[in-house]
Amino acid sequence: MSVLVGKPAPSFTAQAVVDGQIVEQFSLDQYRGSKYVIFFFYPKDFTFVCPTELHAFQDHLAEFEKRDVAIVGCSTDTEMSHWGWLQVPRSKGGIEGVTYPLVADTNKTISAAYDVLVGDYDLDEFGELVVDGELIAYRGLFLIDKEGIVQHQLVNNLPLGRSIKEAIRMVDALQHFEENGEVCPMDWELGSEAMQANHESTAAYLAKGS
């Protein structure tokens, strides 16, 4: 598993569904310089754990937006699959009402770039494509700062849902450090006491884009 923390988030352009509309050319680059991004992967449309996460991000969207955070989801399903799932009511297992972008990683290259792809593919001795695994995405989550640098990543196995509270906590911790130069100890929460950073760690962070 690659560690992307401290590195530029892999760039891509792909189809997506945004507030119920299909967008042909979607990229995280649009947020560079203006917003933080939580970019999360989920395994499949029309499943069980996934809608609980997608709805949780939607339910807390205002909390992220007031922190200048854009929420973007992604799976290896097609944009039409995303759109179809959005037509299904929440009470019937659908994700109707989700407005943030859902990226279609149909050719699996985005999941591969973020190293969250379950399985692998190769050519055998006869030049035929051989696939090992489902080629879907683990539950990866990446917090990307306004300069496009990954500051936090979390990757869960398929059965294990994530925590919205922890995602918000990490945003708060990053922004507290940026604004105050203080580092955040274990279980730090907004309003709690932080700590003075040493000069080396601060300098390393400030030099991340150079």
For the chain, the distance separating the N- and C-terminal CA atoms, rounded to the nearest angstrom, is 25
Q: Residue 138 in contact with residue 155, Cβ under 8 Å?
A: yes
Catalytic residue among 17, 50, 137, 168: 50
50 catalytic per annotation: yes
Catalytically annotated residues: 50
